[in-house]
Homo-oligomer: A and B are copies of this chain.
Amino acid sequence: MVRAARHYYVDDMSKMQTADALGVSRFKVARLLEGARELGIVTITVDDAGVPVPELADALAAHLGLSRAVVVEAHGAQAEVRHEVGAAAAALLGSTLRQGEVLGLAWGRTLTGMSHSMPPLPRVDVVQLTGALGTDLEASPVEVVRRVALRSGGSAQPIFAPLVLDDPRTADALRRQTDVAGALRMFDHLTTAVVAVGSWDPPNSQLLTALSQEDRQAMHEAGVRAEVAAILVSDTGEVVSPEFARRCISIGVDQLRRTPRIVAAAAGADKARAVTAIARAGLCTELVTDRALAEAVLSLDGVDPAVAERGTA
């Protein structure tokens, strides 16, 4: 049975060839294969994770006024969804980045996933857009930059500094450090930026873990709904809490807005409002998401996602 299954399914032989190879009748081969499937020796799985859904993507791009959107199928735990979205973002960069670009990378679990799935890239300069948060080396923005630069062969410009400081004074001092300043200067020359979308309401952002209870309370009252690269945005797309930005080592709103191409990656339906807010704020030109999030965004304002999608291949 196992040998028959190997021949037929792995080596793609016909049942007649398999029969000849094993010295049995083709009928017996058919019965062996049938048995092998029943016994679980042969398992056939149809897994659409990572498959793009162009219809939803087009509808999403139109809805949010983006130049492009990528929507992929993803199921299972949040971590798996992030992994698929990250892989899709990696593939998008791989097929669109051109040699000589200056690529800015923010940070988040989705972008960590992206860095793990990154295909070989043309030679680009990679710049870290934000300081670090937390102590997990594997998930740090420095590591994301390192991995992506490794795939490209271009220069890497990391920022060895915390993302959030206790007061603006310390942040200013850090910004004047030679290495940090060098990275910040490159923010004006970015051709492509990649950011992760964090949601503040419902709360789903790693930035939240770094804030004091008072900070959170104040921001909540200020109407913060979403976050990219530590830039806080309200439901209407306005940037709030600029005094918070002064405490952050991160790209500024204006610098990010001036970047010609901003790819936002977001995973999970609970980020629907956050994604909408970011798009309204003009803080992304392209979006990579999973199906559930895309559908949630489209249905937020009464757009029926079923209309957008027809005849998934």
Contact = CB atoms under 8 A, between A and B. Distances in A.
Interface of A: 1-3, 5-6, 9-10, 32, 36, 39-48, 51, 73, 312-313
Contacts of A3: 312-313
A48 B41 contact: yes
A5 B46 CA distance: 7
29 contacts: A1-B51, A1-B313, A2-B46, A2-B48, A2-B51, A2-B73, A2-B312, A2-B313, A3-B313, A5-B46, A6-B46, A9-B46, A10-B44, A10-B46, A32-B313, A36-B46, A40-B47, A41-B46, A41-B47, A41-B48, A41-B51, A42-B44, A42-B45, A42-B46, A42-B47, A43-B44, A43-B47, A44-B44, A45-B45
A77 to B, nearest CB: 20
Contacts of A39: 51
A51 B32 CA distance: 13
Contacts of A36: 46
Contacts of A46: 2, 5-6, 9-10, 36, 41-42
